[in-house]
């Protein structure tokens, strides 16, 4: 895939890979063996007809290709960009034994983008919400909520999607940066979902403005809770309250949701110093590091307590980060942050680790090496070590069963201990992938349909 | 879109703005706040609810034009709309009859005293209010508060109205003469710090209301975290009310300045744009 040159792209927020041209897409699609019993589909949580849409691209039937995608996947342009295809569909592609697997992700992106560019507006007008059909409330307009709402609307339910923020998309909007997932793309795909008849209410925090109980009284017959993992973890070390220390959530929300990278045209500021440390090595950490670089930082470090092998980020993201000049301090853990007299970050003190015995996660436990602590000059520290479950809504549903980590206890179909409440995505699993959340939204939509068909009220 | 149905100027910088927001008004209670975003380019910023009217489906905030966002909001007129209002946020104030209560308000914080003092009075408390301003022209909410309390004291720094001096001067006198069960302080951080210092000596429970820099208001960004009893707390979901004796004010005062340079840059940009518009 052709990409923006690393030296150039660190000065802008434009998308890094250019995407396939028509000729490139057709050439790649023609490599597909069109397996009778395609293994790639088994790797896809959204169960997309992968050979089907690739065949359509090979035959230059781009509109048909996108239609096949949209049958099962309501956010194909998003998925084509952010799914970890290398661990899912592409990992199972027969061709991996001979040559490279088919680049399914980029083909998906191509077909979905083609539709957004060429096909938008040609489809039938928005289906009006059918009065008399059962009302379903979906809470949270992230990947799980959007998927569930879209599938339920396709089944002709009267769906209202309640979103706490002022924009839809959840992590797709506030978390993943523009250069990896352009916000226009997200908004256009959400527009398609609205065209299915989904009503989205913004600034609407269920648990605050209304409770599940009041919605029940307003005639909602089933609920899908998809509020995500939205409570940032901090490290509980000295100096985390200093100015210049951000949770990755705050940093990314400022940059992406509030467009601080266009400050002062946009009013929301973000302060990024010359030297930036990002703690953690997941996709969120890579996103934070690459944003910091684009906002003018001279040196950006990833500080991670284990080794490269254990990094949770996608290989692609680590590769892109290295390409852009981000430095990795591995087997390193911060122990305190030291500030100056004005309350700003001055240095970060870290300790070196070595790998010990295997822990509960199946990975070798990092063990601090005595007297190995060292200090680095730093202006900004971004903490990207994960998120927990947000209690805001859950506290208002006292009977709802939670796990030890305060996630919602739900079965594979999203059913909870309360018959009309379903849940899915990060609020059930803890931080996971976009596609896993979408898969949960799909399954829950089916389960809610079954529930409403059999329930009497 | 949330339409402004009434707007009134309270002093040279402070405006009272009433919005149409039915669902929000129905859910609101005293002590809670909302987050507003004026336009597509705007910041999300918190404002405490001054009043809410379930019958008419409106909420009212009081806003002091200081930074770009508050100036943008205060520049709007009746009939205009803001893009987003999210809320009600934060825990609602526990309103119960505890006996004798003193409210201390400083500057624009006086407007935030009003709804809680009103609710506490309705709950049967004996309510004394002390409000302080720099000078006479800046006094707000005097009549409204007078109507809902038993005693009202006003101070000005320059002595142009009421007593010359600080709210804490009156507070000390009252506490020396009589015993009180609870003190509420809402205003500048330095004022809340001084009030908490005074009441701590007398071991009188003191509640302060904190209004930190935040984005979502639901606990997601963690930007509003404060040091409270040696622990990190989020003012958006754990507050905005806190035990004034456990708050680390110096830490919050430093944190409030964390975007100071950018705020100055933003103000210059805003003023420049306003000048172009005027030409």
Residue range B58-93, pLDDT digits in tens: 999 999 999 999 999 999 999 999 999 999 999 988
Which phi and psi angles does A75 have, rounded to 5°? -135, 55
- Chain B CB contacts of A210 below 8 Å: 23, 27
Nearest chain B residue to A210, by CA: B27
- HSE-up of A274 (CA within 13 Å, CB side)? 4
CA of B224, closest CA in chain A: separation in Å?
A: 10
* pLDDT score of A80: 95
CB-nearest partner of B265 from A253, A258, A264: A264
Nearest chain A residue to B69, by CA: A267
pLDDT tens across the length of chain A (457 residues): 899 999 999 999 999 999 999 999 999 999 999 999 999 999 998 889 999 999 999 999 999 999 999 999 999 999 999 999 999 999 999 999 888 999 999 999 999 999 999 875 555 545 555 556 899 999 999 999 999 999 999 999 999 999 999 999 999 999 999 999 999 999 999 999 999 999 999 999 999 999 999 999 999 999 999 999 889 999 999 999 999 999 999 999 999 999 999 999 999 999 999 999 999 999 999 999 999 999 999 999 999 999 999 999 999 999 999 999 999 999 999 999 999 999 999 999 999 999 999 888 888 889 999 999 999 999 999 999 999 999 999 999 999 999 999 999 999 999 999 999 999 999 999 988 899 999 999 999 999 999 999 887 6
ipTM: 0.95
- Chain B CB contacts of A258 below 8 Å: 43-44, 215
Which regions of A156-290 does DSSP assign to beta strands (E)?
158-162, 199-201, 220-225, 231-232, 245-247, 275-279
Nearest chain B residue to A231, by CA: B220
Q: Which of B23, B73, B84, B220 to mutate to test the interface with A (most CBs of A within 10 A)?
A: B220
Distance CA A281, CA A330 (A): 9
Determine whether the interchain pair A392/B237 forms a contact, defined as Cβ–Cβ distance below 8 Å. Answer: yes
Domain B100-209 falls in which CATH fold?
Rossmann fold (3.40.50)
Q: Is A431 in CB contact (< 8 Å) with chain B?
A: no
Determine whether the interchain pair A231/B219 forms a contact, defined as Cβ–Cβ distance below 8 Å. Answer: yes
Bond from prior residue into A264 cis (ω within 30 degrees of 0)? yes
Q: Is A202 in CB contact (< 8 Å) with chain B?
A: yes
Determine whether the interchain pair B251/A241 forms a contact, defined as Cβ–Cβ distance below 8 Å. Answer: yes
Residue range B121-168, pLDDT digits in tens: 999 999 999 999 999 999 999 999 999 999 999 999 999 999 999 999
* pLDDT score of B278: 67
Nearby residues of A26 by Cβ (< 8 Å), 6 or more positions away: A57, A58, A60
What CATH code would you report for B2-89? Answer: 2.40.30.10
- Chain B CB contacts of A237 below 8 Å: none
Determine whether the interchain pair B24/A209 forms a contact, defined as Cβ–Cβ distance below 8 Å. Answer: yes
Determine whether the interchain pair A231/B85 forms a contact, defined as Cβ–Cβ distance below 8 Å. Answer: no
Geometric angle at alpha carbon A402, from A398 and A407, rounded to 5°: 120
Distance CA A406, CA A403 (A): 5
CA of B32, closest CA in chain A: separation in Å?
A: 10
Residue range B208-267, pLDDT digits in tens: 999 899 999 999 999 999 999 999 999 999 999 999 999 999 999 999 999 999 999 999
Nearest chain A residue to B225, by CA: A241
Per-residue pLDDT at B16 exceeds 70: yes
In chain B, CATH 3.40.50.80 covers 100-209
Give bridge partners of residue A376 from the DSSP assignment. A348
Residue range B165-195, pLDDT digits in tens: 999 999 999 999 999 999 999 999 999 999 9
CA of A212, closest CA in chain B: separation in Å?
A: 13
Distance CA B166, CA B154 (A): 9
Nearby residues of A176 by Cβ (< 8 Å), 6 or more positions away: A82, A256, A287
- Chain A CB contacts of B86 below 8 Å: 164-166, 203-205
Domains of chain A by residue range: 17-119, 135-230+388-454, 234-385
> Which residues of A, range 345-404, sit inside 8 Å of B by Cβ?
390-392
* pLDDT score of B157: 96
Q: Which residues of B touch A (CB under 8 A)?
A: 23-24, 27, 37, 41-44, 68-69, 72, 83-89, 215-216, 218-223, 225-227, 232, 237, 251, 254-255, 257-259, 261-263, 265-266, 268-270
Distance CA A338, CA B119 (A): 44
CB-nearest partner of A258 from B23, B215, B257: B215
Nearest chain B residue to A243, by CA: B258
Buried b vs exposed e over B103-126: b needs ≥16 C-beta within 10 Å? bbbbbbbbbbbbbbbbbbbeeebb
**How many contacts, defined by CB atoms under 8 Å, are there between A and B?**
123
CB-nearest partner of A258 from B43, B83, B85: B43
A234-385 and A135-230+388-454 share a CATH fold: yes
Residue A214, judged by CB atoms within 10 A of its CB (0-12, 13-18, 19+), counts as middle
Q: Is A268 in CB contact (< 8 Å) with chain B?
A: yes
Per the structure block, which two tokens stand in for B128? 């004394």
* pLDDT score of A76: 96
Whether the CB-CB separation of A157 and A182 falls below 8 Å is answered with no
CB-nearest partner of A230 from B68, B88, B220: B220
Torsion angle in degrees (nearest 10) through CA of B2, B8, B11, B14: -10
CA of B263, closest CA in chain A: separation in Å?
A: 8
Give me the count of residues in chain A.
457
* pLDDT score of A360: 85
Q: Is A219 left (phi over 0), alpha (psi -120 to 50) or beta?
A: left
Nearest chain B residue to A340, by CA: B254
* pLDDT score of A45: 86
Write the class of the CATH domain A135-230+388-454: alpha beta
Write the class of the CATH domain A234-385: alpha beta
* pLDDT score of B4: 98
Whether the CB-CB separation of A326 and A293 falls below 8 Å is answered with yes
Query: How far is C-alpha A226 from the geometric centre of its chain's CA atoms?
Result: 13
The secondary structure of residue A344, as a DSSP letter, is: B
Q: Is A240 in CB contact (< 8 Å) with chain B?
A: yes
Contacts from A357-364 at CB under 8 Å and sequence distance 24+?
A363/A306, A363/A310, A364/A306, A364/A310
- Chain B CB contacts of A389 below 8 Å: none
Determine whether the interchain pair B262/A269 forms a contact, defined as Cβ–Cβ distance below 8 Å. Answer: yes
CB-nearest partner of B43 from A231, A240, A267: A267
Distance CA A181, CA A177 (A): 6
- Chain B CB contacts of A341 below 8 Å: none
Q: How far is CA A66 from CA A59, A90, A113, B134, in A?
A: 13, 19, 9, 65
Nearest chain A residue to B257, by CA: A243
3-state secondary structure of A301: strand
CA of B27, closest CA in chain A: separation in Å?
A: 5
* pLDDT score of A129: 52
CA of A183, closest CA in chain B: separation in Å?
A: 14
CB atoms within 10 A of CB B187: 24
CB-nearest partner of A241 from B89, B255, B259: B255
Give the mean pLDDT of B16-40. 96
Determine whether the interchain pair B216/A342 forms a contact, defined as Cβ–Cβ distance below 8 Å. Answer: no
Determine whether the interchain pair B27/A232 forms a contact, defined as Cβ–Cβ distance below 8 Å. Answer: no
Q: Could you tell me the pTM of the whole model?
A: 0.95
Give bridge partners of residue A336 from the DSSP assignment. A238, A349
Q: Is CATH 1.10.1060.10 the classification given to domain A17-119?
A: yes
In chain B, CATH 2.40.30.10 covers 2-89
Q: Is A419 in CB contact (< 8 Å) with chain B?
A: no
Q: What is the 3-state secondary structure (H, E, C) of chain B?
A: CEEEEEEEECCCCEEEEEEECHHHHHHCCCCCEEEEECCCCCCCEEEEEEEEECCCCEEEEEEECCCHHHHHHHCCCCCCEECEEEEEECCCCCCCCCCEEEEEEECCHHHHHHHHHHHHHHCCCEEEEEEEECCHHHCCCHHHHHHHCCEEEEEECCCCCCEECCHHHHHHHHHHHCCCCEEEEECCHHHHHHHHHHHHHCCCCEEEECCCCCCCCCCCCCCCEEEECCEEEEHHHHCCEEECCCECHHHHHHHHCCCHHHHHHHHHHHHHHHHHHHC
Distance CA B59, CA B164 (A): 34
């Amino acid at each position: 895939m052709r990409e923006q040159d690393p030296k150039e792209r660190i000065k802008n927020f434009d998308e890094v890979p250019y995407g396939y041209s028509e000729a490139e897409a057709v050439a790649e699609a023609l490599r597909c063996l069109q397996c009778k019993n395609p293994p790639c589909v088994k790797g896809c949580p959204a169960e997309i007809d992968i050979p089907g849409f690739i065949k359509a691209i090979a035959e230059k039937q781009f509109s048909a290709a996108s239609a096949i995608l949209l049958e099962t996947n309501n956010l194909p342009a998003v998925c084509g960009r952010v799914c970890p295809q290398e661990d899912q569909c592409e990992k199972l592609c027969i061709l991996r034994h001979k040559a490279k697997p088919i680049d399914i992700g980029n083909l998906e992106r191509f077909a979905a983008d083609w539709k957004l560019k060429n096909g938008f507006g040609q489809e039938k007008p928005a289906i009006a919400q059918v009065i008399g059909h059962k009302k379903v409330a979906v809470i949270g307009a992230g990947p799980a909520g959007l998927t569930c709402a879209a599938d339920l609307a396709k089944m002709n339910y009267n769906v209202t999607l309640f979103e706490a923020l002022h924009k839809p998309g959840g992590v797709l909007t506030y978390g993943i940066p523009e250069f990896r997932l352009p916000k226009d793309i997200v908004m256009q795909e959400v527009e398609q979902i609205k065209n299915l008849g989904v009503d989205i209410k913004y600034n609407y925090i269920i648990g605050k403005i209304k409770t599940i109980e009041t919605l029940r009284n307003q005639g909602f017959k089933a609920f899908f809770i998809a509020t995500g993992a939205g409570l940032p973890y901090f490290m509980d070390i000295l100096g985390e309250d200093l100015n210049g220390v951000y949770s990755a959530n705050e940093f990314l929300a400022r940059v992406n949701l509030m467009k601080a990278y266009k400050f002062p045209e946009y009013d929301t500021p973000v302060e990024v110093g010359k030297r930036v440390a990002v703690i953690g090595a997941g996709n969120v950490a890579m996103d934070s590091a690459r944003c910091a670089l684009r906002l003018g930082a001279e040196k950006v470090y990833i500080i991670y307590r284990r080794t490269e092998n254990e990094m949770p980020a996608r290989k692609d993201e680590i590769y892109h980060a290295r390409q852009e000049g981000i430095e990795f301090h591995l087997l390193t853990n911060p122990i305190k942050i030291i500030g100056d007299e004005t309350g700003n970050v001055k240095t970060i003190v870290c300790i070196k680790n070595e790998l010990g015995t295997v822990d509960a996660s199946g990975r070798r436990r990092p063990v601090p090496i005595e007297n190995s602590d060292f200090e680095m000059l730093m202006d900004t520290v971004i903490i990207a070590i994960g998120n927990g479950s947000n209690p805001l809504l859950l506290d208002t549903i006292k009977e709802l069963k939670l796990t030890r980590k305060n996630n919602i206890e739900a079965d594979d179909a999203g059913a909870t201990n309360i018959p009309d409440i379903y849940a899915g995505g990060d609020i059930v699993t803890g931080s996971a992938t976009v596609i896993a959340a979408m898969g949960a939204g799909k399954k829950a939509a089916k389960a809610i349909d079954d529930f409403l068909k059999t329930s009497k009220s | 879109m949330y339409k402004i149905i009434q707007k009134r100027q309270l002093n040279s910088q402070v405006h009272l703005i009433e919005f149409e927001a039915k669902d929000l008004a129905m859910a609101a209670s005293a002590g809670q706040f909302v987050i507003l975003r004026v336009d597509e380019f705007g910041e999300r910023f918190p404002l405490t609810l001054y009043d809410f009217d379930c019958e008419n489906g409106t909420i009212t905030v009081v806003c002091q034009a200081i930074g770009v966002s508050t100036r943008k909001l205060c520049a709007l007129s009746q009939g205009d709309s803001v893009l987003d209002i999210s809320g009600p946020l934060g825990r609602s104030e526990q309103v119960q009859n505890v006996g004798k209560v003193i409210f201390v308000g400083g500057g624009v914080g006086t407007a935030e005293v009003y709804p809680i003092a009103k609710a506490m009075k309705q709950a049967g408390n004996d309510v004394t209010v002390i409000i302080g301003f720099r000078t006479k022209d800046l006094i707000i909410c005097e009549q409204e508060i007078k109507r809902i309390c038993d005693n009202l004291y006003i101070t000005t720094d320059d002595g142009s109205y009421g007593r010359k001096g600080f709210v804490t001067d009156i507070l000390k006198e009252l506490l020396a003469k009589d015993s009180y069960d609870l003190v509420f302080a809402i205003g500048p951080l330095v004022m809340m710090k001084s009030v908490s210092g005074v009441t701590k000596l007398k071991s009188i429970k003191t509640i302060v209301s904190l209004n930190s820099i935040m984005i979502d208001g639901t606990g997601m960004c963690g930007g509003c975290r404060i040091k409270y009893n040696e622990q990190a707390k989020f003012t958006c979901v754990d507050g905005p009310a806190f035990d004034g004796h456990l708050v680390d004010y110096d830490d919050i005062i430093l944190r409030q300045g964390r975007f100071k340079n950018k705020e100055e840059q933003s103000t210059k940009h805003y003023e420049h744009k306003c000048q172009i518009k005027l030409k």
